[in-house]
Amino acid sequence: MAAGTKPLSKRKKKQGAIPASKNGGLTAATADRHELYQFSVQNVETEIDFVDAEFERLRGRKAALLREDFCGTGNTSCEWVRRRDTNRAIGLDIDQPTLDWGHERNLAALTDSQRGRVSLVNRDVLAPGDAVGVDCVLAMNFSYWLFKTRDELRAYFRAVRESLGPDGVFFLDHYGGSEAMSEMVEKRDIETDDGRKFVYEWDQHRYRPVTGEMDCRIHFRFPDRTRMKNAFEYTWRLWMLPEIQELLVEAGFSKATVYWEGDELDEDGEPTGEGNGEFEPTDSGTADPAFVSYIAAIP
Ligand SMILES: C[S@@+](CC[C@H](N)C(=O)[O-])C[C@H]1O[C@@H](n2cnc3c(N)ncnc32)[C@H](O)[C@@H]1O
Report the Cα 103 to chain-centroid distance in Å.
19
pLDDT at residue 299 in the model: 96
Counted residue by residue, the chain has a size of 299
- Ligand 1 atom closest to 141 (CA): 8
For ligand 1, atom 19: residue with the closest CA: 124
pLDDT at residue 15 in the model: 64
Question: For 148-171, how does the pLDDT look when each residue is reduced to its tens digit (9 = 90+)?
Answer: 999 999 999 999 999 998 899 999
Regarding the beta carbon of 143 and ligand 1, being less than 6 Å apart is answered: yes
For ligand 1, atom 7: residue with the closest CA: 141
Regarding the beta carbon of 94 and ligand 1, being less than 6 Å apart is answered: yes
What is the sign, positive or negative, of the torsion defined by CA atoms of 156, 104, 79, 24? Answer: negative
- Ligand 1 atom closest to 76 (CA): 8
Paired with 19 in beta bridges are none
- Taking the alpha carbons at both ends of the chain, their separation in whole angstroms is 75
pLDDT at residue 19 in the model: 83
Q: Cα–Cα distance between 83 and 118 in angstroms, integer? A: 12
pLDDT at residue 4 in the model: 42
Q: Give the β-pairing of 213-221 and 197-208.
A: antiparallel
What residue spans of the chain are helical by DSSP H? 33-40, 44-59, 75-83, 96-101, 112-115, 150-163, 241-250
Residue 72 lies inside a defined structural domain of this protein: yes
Task: Give the residue among 186, 229, 283, 256 at the shortest CA–CA distance from 29.
Answer: 229
Residue 109 lies inside a defined structural domain of this protein: yes
pLDDT at residue 5 in the model: 42
Domain that holds residue 281: 38-177+240-298
Residue 229 lies inside a defined structural domain of this protein: no
- Distance from Cα 235 to the centre of ligand 1, integer Å: 12
pLDDT at residue 20 in the model: 85
pLDDT at residue 25 in the model: 80
Residue 9 lies inside a defined structural domain of this protein: no
Q: Angle CA(283)–CA(285)–CA(288) in degrees, nearest 5?
A: 170
Q: Cα–Cα distance between 69 and 56 in angstroms, integer? A: 21
Check: CB of residue 239 under 8 Å from CB of residue 212.
Answer: yes
The number of distinct structural domains making up the chain is: 1
Which of 70, 71, 106 has the most ligand 1 atoms within 8 A of CB, as the residue to mutate?
A: 70
For ligand 1, atom 12: residue with the closest CA: 70
Name the DSSP letter for residue 3: T
Residue 199 lies inside a defined structural domain of this protein: no
pLDDT at residue 9 in the model: 47
| CATH number for position 92 | 3.40.50.150
Task: Give the residue among 258, 246, 48 at the shortest CA–CA distance from 136.
Answer: 48
- Ligand 1 atom closest to 92 (CA): 21
- Ligand 1 atom closest to 71 (CA): 6
Number of neighbouring beta carbons within 10 Å of residue 43: 14
**Low-confidence residues in the chain, pLDDT < 50:** 1-10
Q: Cα–Cα distance between 176 and 240 in angstroms, integer? A: 7
- Distance from Cα 71 to the centre of ligand 1, integer Å: 6
Residue 190 lies inside a defined structural domain of this protein: no
- Distance from Cα 36 to the centre of ligand 1, integer Å: 17
